[in-house]
Chains A and B, each alone.
Chain A
């Protein structure tokens, strides 16, 4: 195996015990993939996770319960809101899933500007609670910075990543249709889920009324067919509580078990990484220093390569905290870009309406997926906007809810509420956020957490381009629904702050020039060749698609590159 030929210099017994071929920091979506790839390539790999262990199925207690068996029928208590004022705002936070969200009071940060940071500190990270929407990017996205001058040019193009998307899709298990769209490339799909009758109607209306856009079935990491020993999906739509059927992709259900099966994985929960260790003579990282969250003791671990997958803000925090003579402003930060160019998607905006037909139609099962309207603005010359750059997509769906605002009390009320009401449909929009140097995260040495570590100051906002785009996001949603014959169409703009879309990215961006970027085209630090960053921190732009699938593909690609470089003796 490739790992066997590697030379390891061992000094002491303690060093031997704490020395691995590779260290992966973080066990979320990208960390899980790094662990799987490195272990499968034969590297003895240590995965460090700052939170507690979460074992697949065993630690999903509560998800098997019926709603009436939960004291508050899934709802949040005042205590929940007191302990987690930020997390409890998240749509996925409920009476069962709340154990996967941090206590905000115990894990403070500073909102220089309003920023809602949604976090899960445990093995699997947010791969447990994520929405599982999975879309490829295309050259529309990878060329965007070069074309309009925002941010730095991506050092890669779609052709560099296409086969890696295929590679991760096959393992992760993504459902979807082959829709044949150049700017939302098809992948290796499990059978798609199906649109309900109102969704089909609106999709047909779009086709009839517009030449520039389509409505497709959402693509998600839920298993419409069994994938390995996972699934298939049972259509309970309780994914965020942990799926006891393994009917989806998560680190806990998929990548970590695969890594473990190689015999090369060592998983160490409760391990908060403090710094990356650096040998200035060799100009290489030698490992990391951790704080054991249970014993409060520090310890050092050594490896030939280090993958940072601690999440966009977590990774930035580690880099900024790893200071030395060589890197006084943060590890591998000669570009001064670490912590900067923080992006999220801007969302929480769109329209909904009612439909007065299909009274004789309904559905069965709770589909954990919706519809998707891929980007249709600034896609080509014909769709070019003069008022903003980049674009947005829509996610949403139709349902037949029960009558709302029912008047009265007694038998009539009861009867009115036991039958389904009109069909309704909602389109919510996700828009691209440009990379701005001023949107940044910095360390606050005056405000320490319970471990005595400096906390983060997050200073991030949406600007003019995003704000102008939002108007179009609202208007276009309402227009599409109205053209499809929906009535009582109402728009909404909840104006959520950055962070709340949980697509934060960009704090250690990839780029061609070491002077203006932190990572090269292989997610390798320009300054320190044996350190790789493949979580959201690496992103040079945000596109408008949900980013997790791209993190997976970048991780698998970088792991392949890293191991090849290691074999060649370049690291």
Chain B
């Protein structure tokens, strides 16, 4: 049983979510490489990643990724859970977003452009990563935006605001009800 299957099987048995497992798998892909040298992220990096994450999961009637501190979460995961290869893909991607932003929006880096422009930029990257994932060989590097999106979704939906407000979370259910009514619009369980 590989990790992907183990996780999805567990998620299944747990009544958990397969999607979380998949995000984790791609986000924390294992390799036999040594642990990466310590990657340093600055407060500016975190603020920048917060905005990337907020563009992916914005605040609505529930908090967005920035309020869930997803930028910080991403740096912790990249530092501790990524091998050197994926660390490099991720770090290069941080630069790439700014390059694209400058090219498209009159020399302005990502932090300088409007939320609409950010959404436009990342929407294109999302299409690009989807195409990349479809065509890539197993041993090819993932697209950097695949990693950023996965970490954002994982980080957000397992954060306190994400789990308790965007989703429903009951730490100690106390019982199991096998079949209960569901109506469209009811939120999914967080775990």
Q: Tell me the nearest residue of chain A to B115, going by C-beta.
A: A410
- Given contacts A404-B18, A408-B123, A409-B149, whether A360 and B182 have CB atoms under 8 Å apart is yes
User: By the criterion CB–CB under 8 Å, are B174 and A411 in contact?
Assistant: no
A residues 334-378 in Cβ contact with B at 8 Å = 347-348, 352, 359-370
A residues 173-209 in Cβ contact with B at 8 Å = 193-197, 200
Residues on the A chain within 8 Å of B111, using CB = none
Pick the interface stretch among B42-50, B77-85, B91-99, B101-109. Answer: B77-85
User: By the criterion CB–CB under 8 Å, are A363 and B187 in contact?
Assistant: no
Residues on the B chain within 8 Å of A364, using CB = 170, 173, 175-177, 180
In the assembled complex, the CB of A346 is this many whole angstroms from the nearest CB of chain B, namely 10
User: By the criterion CB–CB under 8 Å, are B56 and A237 in contact?
Assistant: no
Residues on the A chain within 8 Å of B1, using CB = 91, 347-348, 494, 496, 500
A365 to B173, CA, bound (A): 5
A402 to B177, CA, bound (A): 19
Residues on the A chain within 8 Å of B18, using CB = 399, 401-402, 404, 424
A113: Cβ under 8 A from any B Cβ: no
Pick the interface stretch among A258-266, A283-291, A413-421, A468-476. Answer: A413-421
A194 to B9, CA, bound (A): 19
In the assembled complex, the CB of A225 is this many whole angstroms from the nearest CB of chain B, namely 12
User: By the criterion CB–CB under 8 Å, are B186 and A419 in contact?
Assistant: yes
Most buried by A among B35, B119, B130, B169: B35
User: By the criterion CB–CB under 8 Å, are B12 and A426 in contact?
Assistant: yes
User: By the criterion CB–CB under 8 Å, are B130 and A234 in contact?
Assistant: no
CB < 8 Å neighbour of A419 from B81, B181, B185: B185
User: By the criterion CB–CB under 8 Å, are B126 and A407 in contact?
Assistant: yes
User: By the criterion CB–CB under 8 Å, are A73 and B158 in contact?
Assistant: yes
How many chain A residues sit at the interface, stated as a range, is: 35 or more
Residues on the B chain within 8 Å of A361, using CB = 179-182
B residues 155-171 in Cβ contact with A at 8 Å = 155, 157-160, 163, 166-167, 169-171
A410 to B125, CA, bound (A): 13
Residues on the A chain within 8 Å of B166, using CB = 414, 417-418
In the assembled complex, the CB of A401 is this many whole angstroms from the nearest CB of chain B, namely 4
Residues on the A chain within 8 Å of B154, using CB = 73
A363 to B60, CA, bound (A): 26
Residues on the B chain within 8 Å of A79, using CB = 35, 80
A515: Cβ under 8 A from any B Cβ: no
Most buried by B among A85, A234, A418, A424: A418
User: By the criterion CB–CB under 8 Å, are B153 and A417 in contact?
Assistant: yes
User: By the criterion CB–CB under 8 Å, are B2 and A496 in contact?
Assistant: yes
In the assembled complex, the CB of B161 is this many whole angstroms from the nearest CB of chain A, namely 9
CB < 8 Å neighbour of A91 from B10, B55, B62, B171: B10
A492: Cβ under 8 A from any B Cβ: yes
Residues on the A chain within 8 Å of B30, using CB = 81, 88
CB < 8 Å neighbour of A363 from B15, B169, B184: B15
User: By the criterion CB–CB under 8 Å, are B163 and A67 in contact?
Assistant: yes
A424 to B30, CA, bound (A): 27
B residues 20-71 in Cβ contact with A at 8 Å = 20, 22, 24, 27-28, 30, 32, 34-36, 55-58, 60, 62, 64
22 sample A-B contacts, Cβ–Cβ < 8 Å, listed by A number: A71-B76, A77-B80, A77-B81, A82-B34, A82-B35, A88-B30, A237-B13, A237-B191, A348-B2, A360-B182, A364-B170, A364-B177, A366-B191, A370-B12, A399-B15, A404-B19, A410-B119, A414-B60, A417-B153, A418-B188, A419-B187, A426-B12
Q: Which 3 A-B pairs have CB atoms at the shortest separation, nearest pair first? A: A348-B1, A365-B173, A194-B178
Instruction: List 14 extra interface pairs beyond A67-B191, A76-B81, A194-B178, CB under 8 A.
Output: A67-B158, A72-B77, A74-B158, A75-B81, A82-B34, A90-B6, A91-B9, A196-B178, A402-B19, A404-B22, A409-B119, A410-B123, A426-B9, A494-B2
